[in-house]
Structure 1
Amino acid sequence: MLDTLRTWALELWRPLCLFTLTALAEIVGCYLPWLWLKQGRSAWLLPPAAAALALFVWLLTLHPSASGRVYAAYGGVYVTVALLWLRVVDGVALSRWDLLGAAVALLGMAIIVLGPR
């Protein structure tokens, strides 16, 4: 039983870390142009945004599963990271509904990642 839990933890930890990095790259890649377009910041934010989006695409290719399954599982982590970004970067307080939604999204990711193939 303990070995099974360890195996599941490792199977979940690796994609969770990779998905988290992927989500951060995607959010940064979209946030920097938003700053330029909506807040009149420097156009010099566009090259790092393009690099972040290229990193995002590359990180998605590191998963061994079929792309559709990867995108579906990634969505759960993206929702959670986006809400954390909202709290940390934008300073918006999260509601209990935000937290519940993030928990449900992460549960969905775990089911997809750990489900039998």
Structure 2
Amino acid sequence: MALTKSMLYFLLAALLEIGGGYLVWQWLREHRPWWVGALGFVGLALYGVIPPYQPATFARTYAAYGGVFIVISLLWGLWVDQRPPDRYEWVGAAICLVGSCVIMYARRG
């Protein structure tokens, strides 16, 4: 149960950060209305609230989040931007995700 909860926190944090960043990107780069950027800022602020609920330390949580962020970013590009990652991006993402799992969930002591 704790592992599932932790993974859901990672997923939620990634969606808020990537979604928020994407909305700010749309506002600034694609000249969308100001409120699109404002929604992005709200998403980014909410992202900052999620990681403290992880059971690990700050450093471990944020280090492990990097791999999750990479994978979700590639999936976002595939689903939202319709730009499929190439095989090297998938391989790199898999390596990062394995590293994130080791950092976050390896048995210690």
TM-score (norm 1): 0.84
- The answer as to whether partners of 1:11 and 1:113 remain within 8 angstroms in 2 is no
RMSD: 1.4
What is the 5 A alignment of 1:61-72? Answer: 61-72=52-63
2:24·2:38 contact (CA, 8 Å) conserved in 1?
A: no
Aligned residues: 108
1:48 to 39, 58, 69: 39
- Tell me the residue number matched to 2:8: 17
How big is the shift at 1:41? 0.7
Q: Distance in 2 between matches of 1:85 and 1:101?
A: 16
Counterpart for residue 59 of structure 1 = 50
- Structure 1 residue 61: Cα displacement: 1.4
Q: Tell me which residue corresponds to 1:83.
A: 74
Q: Indicate conservation of the 8 Å contact 2:78/2:85, yes or no.
A: yes
> Which residue does 1:27 correspond to in 2?
18
Measured in 2, the distance between the counterparts of 1:13 and 1:64 equals: 12
Answer 1 or 2: which has greater helix percent: 1
Aligned 8 A contact 1:11 1:114 in 2 = no
Task: Give the Cα separation in 2 of the matches to 1:71 and 1:37.
Answer: 27
The percentage of aligned residue pairs carrying the same residue is 37
Aligned equivalents of 1:12, 1:113: Cα separation in 2 = 10
Comparing 48-57 and 79-88, the one that deviates more? 48-57
Pair member with larger Rg: 1
Distance in 2, Cα, partners of 1:111 & 1:17: 17
Runs of 5+ in structure 2 lacking a partner? none
Contact 2:26 2:37 (C-alpha < 8 Å) held by counterparts = no
